[in-house]
Chain A
Amino acid sequence: MLEKSIFPLGDRACLVTFRPEISPAVQRKVSSLEKRLKEKGMAGIVETVPAYCSLAVYYDPLSLSYDEMLFLLEKILEDDEGVAPTEDDHVRVVEIPTLYGNDCGPDLIDVARHCGLTPEEVIERHRSRDYLVYFIGFTPGFPYLGGMDKRLKTPRLEDPRLNIPAGSVGIAGEQTGIYPVDSPGGWRIIGRTPVPLYQPVKNPPTLLEAGDYVRFVQVEREVYHRLEEEVRRGSWKPRVELRRRVEVETTLA
């Protein structure tokens, strides 16, 4: 398989794909291409959609030909070859205050039992590392997170729930994630956050973006309710730490 390739996704988008793996290095390539493309500000490019190891580039065939776009993309990819993160390259680490267990995490005990851990150990392992947001997809604001402790691996529910409340933090296989809006689903729910991941009237409309890191911070019920109240009043502000990318990625490795 080639390291990267470009092919049509229908007649108004193309897909640039990199090495087919889920890794911070590949995510960085996707992000870098997206950023460089945006800087060029090419007329006729409508939008870009990053995923694990690909970037979709949507264009208007009435104002930009496929060949012109291909030329531009190949140029950027060539220039970008082998670019490593610099010392002053920073990433956002966004805190997700989470109330684990009980009514907010009805599956915590089952997950603990499945993994041969105590519920406290599950929480400890879940909150003690930062997770890379590979991309946002599936529903508005839903972060595809990487890097969960493999000891927490638990299969989905056999019988999905009809409604999982917004803010629920769950585990499915080797993945962990947060439901931005009420939706049906089969993830094992271990906790809940009061902070909004999707607000259609805000710009950007989502708390998280591809390339961010997420840190789950365990909170008690009183703090949960206070934050919930702040969100309702509109006074809540996300807690975001800027960290040097090299440090974050070293910790992960």
Chain B
Amino acid sequence: MRSPLLRIVQGGLLTTVQDKGRYGYQRYGVPVSGAMDSWSLKVANILIGNGESCAGLEITVLGPRIEFCRDTFVSICGGDLSPLLDGEPMPMWQGLKVRRGQLLSFGGRVSGCRAYLAVAGGIDVPEVMGSRSTFLRGATGGFGGRALKDGDVLYGGETQAAARLLKLNPDFRPDLDRKEWELRVIMGPQDHYFTGEALEVFLSEHFTVSLNSDRMGIRLEGRVLEYKDGADILSEAVAFGSVQVPAHGRPIVLMAESQTTGGYAKIANVVTVDHSFAAQCMPGDKIRFSSVTLEFAHRLVHERETGLRRGLVIVDH
């Protein structure tokens, strides 16, 4: 039976329902959406025994205040926004039991900028095109296609028994307490559009995350990347992590809600395991790019999976 799960007392800066994304619809021009840091959401789901496609909340910088409407199990992963349960610090990267009437709030940002709340059984909003994620610009999916506001009530599926709660060993958690980030990239497909100097600048200098960054893309400021001839290509698909450089020469790392195709050259693509880091940068943070091979990027994906399995431990409840 559907029963109220969460009451949003205060919406926070930008709190949205997200899952791992809306796949199969980019050919219709529909962005993937989903969690910006989908790894953190995935871990949050695993810690309380949820399936990986369960929807949770993406919480941005200034967190919401949320009342639990029934006893359930939760976990919070990702950036540390100082989660508090009834005013007491709440451990992150670990599944725990919460009781009806308890209040989740956030004390302020310590590291990263996006935290993910998973709740046993997942957030139950209607699936649109096979996903529960919110596509904000398209006002599609999630909770009425929009960010959560004061007074919203969210429902959940039947609470699973959560046979066991897990936590991720601290050694296996990503280090998000940084102001400088290194993002590894696979060069291309259009790196040959750029001058030799631009390629050198791209792989050696720092870029600063602009205030104009959002779920569509991380806009970067820094030395302008110059083209040999021009920025335009015949429009083609872009991906999560594509580093697109418009004619003005300042790169944009395309993120969860990016448009599906683009007509500007892409100098490189951020590797999958570093998408999480891109998702956690704050405006003003510095980014440096380094080049890796495709084989290496795939090895990182596999290693992250094995690392997760080794890092999980059972906690008592």
Residues of A within 8 A of B (CB): 7-13, 15, 17, 20-22, 46-54, 56, 58, 61-62, 65-66, 135-142, 144, 180-181, 198, 200-201, 203-206, 209-210
Contacts and interface: CB of A to CB of B under 8 A. Distances in A.
Contacts of B240: 10, 12
Contacts of A206: 28-29
Give the interface SS of chain A, mostly helix, strand, loop or mixed. loop
B27 A205 contact: no
Contacts of B269: 8-11
B163 interface: no
A200 B305 contact: no
B128 A52 contact: no
A50 B129 CA distance: 19
Nearest to B141: A200
A11 B294 contact: yes
Contacts of A204: 28
Given A8-B188, A9-B269, A49-B260, A136 B239 contact: no
B261 A62 contact: no
Contact of B27 (A22, A47, A53, A198): A47
Contact of A138 (B27, B140, B261): B261
Contacts of A54: 234, 236-237
A181 B138 CA distance: 8
Given A47-B24, A137-B259, A10 B29 contact: no
Interface string B41-81: 00000000000000000000000000000000000000000
Interface stretch (B99-107, B167-175, B296-304): B296-304
B186 interface: yes
A22 B238 CA distance: 19
Given A139-B29, A140-B28, A56 B239 contact: yes
Nearest to B297: A11
A26 B189 CA distance: 20
Interface of B: 23-30, 128-129, 138, 140-141, 186, 188-189, 234-242, 259-261, 266, 269-272, 294, 297-298, 301-302, 305
Contacts of B237: 9, 13, 15, 49, 51, 54, 56, 137
Contact of A8 (B25, B28, B189, B234): B189
Nearest to B188: A7
B298 A65 contact: yes
A132 to B, nearest CB: 15
A62 B20 CA distance: 15
A15 B189 contact: yes
B260 A11 contact: no
A140 B141 CA distance: 13
A9 B26 contact: no
A53 B234 contact: yes
Listed residue (A9, A47, A56) with the most chain B CB atoms within 10 angstroms of its CB: A9
Nearest to A183: B137
B272 A137 contact: no
13 contacts: A9-B242, A10-B269, A10-B272, A11-B297, A11-B301, A12-B240, A61-B272, A61-B301, A62-B301, A136-B27, A136-B29, A138-B261, A201-B128
Nearest to B294: A8
A144 B262 CA distance: 12
A144 B235 contact: yes
Given A10-B271, A62-B305, A139-B259, A210 B189 contact: no
Given A10-B239, A10-B269, 10 more contacts: A8-B186, A10-B241, A49-B237, A53-B234, A61-B302, A137-B29, A139-B138, A200-B138, A205-B25, A210-B27
- Pick the 4 closest A-B CB pairs, nearest first: A10-B269, A137-B261, A56-B237, A11-B297
Contacts of A15: 189, 236-237
A46 B57 CA distance: 24
A196 to B, nearest CB: 13
A189 B305 CA distance: 51
